[in-house]
Amino acid sequence: MTDSTNGRPQAGPERHRGGVTLRRDAIPPSTADEKLLDSHHRGEWKTKDAWRALRILSEFVEGFDTLADLPPAVSVFGSARSSADSYECELAESLGAALAEAGYAVITGGGPGVMEAANRGATEAGGMSVGLGIELPFEQGLNDWVDVGIDFRYFFVRKTMFVKYAQAFVVLPGGFGTLDELFEAITLVQTKKVTRFPVILMGTEYWSGLLDWMKRRMLDEGKISAMDLELLQVTDDVAEAVRIIVDADAALGKL
């Protein structure tokens, strides 16, 4: 369809699949992750999964090659649904700027909301702003403040990049995706799969209920140890968050 006022195609849904952009009727009904992981696609296990392994490898190669020269970086997570004037977006923008001024690149999921705010803060402060996008049925594409952007098909490849190139995780208020990144990070640190690095929760009021539950149920019932809870640091102060990261880097000899 075209816009009757200017003869141009009407803007419609858009999906990014690796280096490919799909629009309108070219958008398939499923994502690459769904085809790989959904048991309803059992018929493809013998015919296509071996070839998917090559595509997965290519995404790792592209990510490693693109991010290899990245300066020290911090991965920032938070809701894509937060409005630009929300508390968490204002906090994320200030955080992005402070991290850039401290010499860190800022890595986000490249989407709107908190991610866009952190990218904007970093870019406006003269820092490097990175967006790691993902193919989703409802995706928005990379926000305009991203300097270096990669669109991934597979969540697990994208997650590797968030961890591999970060000196710390800062987690602002968010939903399931934010919690997914949070708990994966502390699991990797707890199990010593990665060198211990700061995992900082910003938004004391937002996270207090979760932390209280972890203490009251997980800790009191012996599901985790007191040392496990110490993997999380909580603050509302941007300067304190940056100081925690800088001090941790200095202790590990990274600065």
Lowest mean pLDDT among 41-45, 141-145, 220-224: 41-45
160 and 138 Cβ atoms separated by less than 8 Å: no
Give the per-residue pLDDT at 37. 66
Residue 130 has pLDDT above 60, yes or no: yes
Residue 155 has pLDDT above 90, yes or no: yes
Give the per-residue pLDDT at 207. 98
Angle at 177 between CA 56 and CA 86, to 5 degrees: 135
Residue 106 has pLDDT above 50, yes or no: yes
175 and 55 Cβ atoms separated by less than 8 Å: no
* Annotated domain spans of the chain: 62-251
Band (163; pLDDT cuts 50, 70, 90): very high
| Mean pLDDT score across all residues of the chain | 89
Give the per-residue pLDDT at 1. 46
Q: Classify domain 62-251 by CATH number.
A: 3.40.50.450
Give the per-residue pLDDT at 184. 96
3-state SS of the chain is CECCCCCCECCCCEEEECCEEEEHHHCCCCCHHHHHHCHHHHHHCCCCHHHHHHHHHHHHHHHHHHHCCCCCEEEEECCCCCCCCCHHHHHHHHHHHHHHHCCCEEEECCCCCHHHHHHHHHHHCCCCEEEEEECCCCCCCCCCCCCEEEEECCHHHHHHHHHHCCCCEEECCCCHHHHHHHHHHHHHHHCCCCCCCCEEEECHHHHHHHHHHHHHHHHCCCCCCHHHHCCEEEECCHHHHHHHHHHHHHHCCCC
Band (31; pLDDT cuts 50, 70, 90): confident
Percentage of the chain lying above the pLDDT 90 cut: 73
Q: Which amino acid is at 244?
A: I
Per-residue pLDDT reduced to its tens digit, 193-202: 998 789 999 9
Residue 166 has pLDDT above 70, yes or no: yes
Residue 28 has pLDDT above 90, yes or no: no
Band (176; pLDDT cuts 50, 70, 90): very high
**Which backbone phi and psi does 87 adopt, to 5 degrees?**
-60, -45
- Of the candidates 148, 109, 142, the residue with the CA atom closest to the CA atom of residue 15: 142
Give the per-residue pLDDT at 135. 87
Please enumerate, as own/partner, the contacts of 221-230 that have beta carbons within 8 Å and a separation of 24 or more. Answer: 228/186, 228/190
Map tokens 């409005």 to a residue. 83
Band (219; pLDDT cuts 50, 70, 90): very high
The residue-averaged pLDDT of 115-130 equals 98
Question: Which residue would you say has higher pLDDT here, 161 or 1?
Answer: 161
Counting every residue, how long is the chain?
255
The residue-averaged pLDDT of 15-20 equals 67
User: In sequence order, which residues have a C-beta less than 8 Å from that of residue 60 and are 6 or more positions away?
Assistant: 157, 160
Question: Which residue would you say has higher pLDDT here, 10 or 71?
Answer: 71
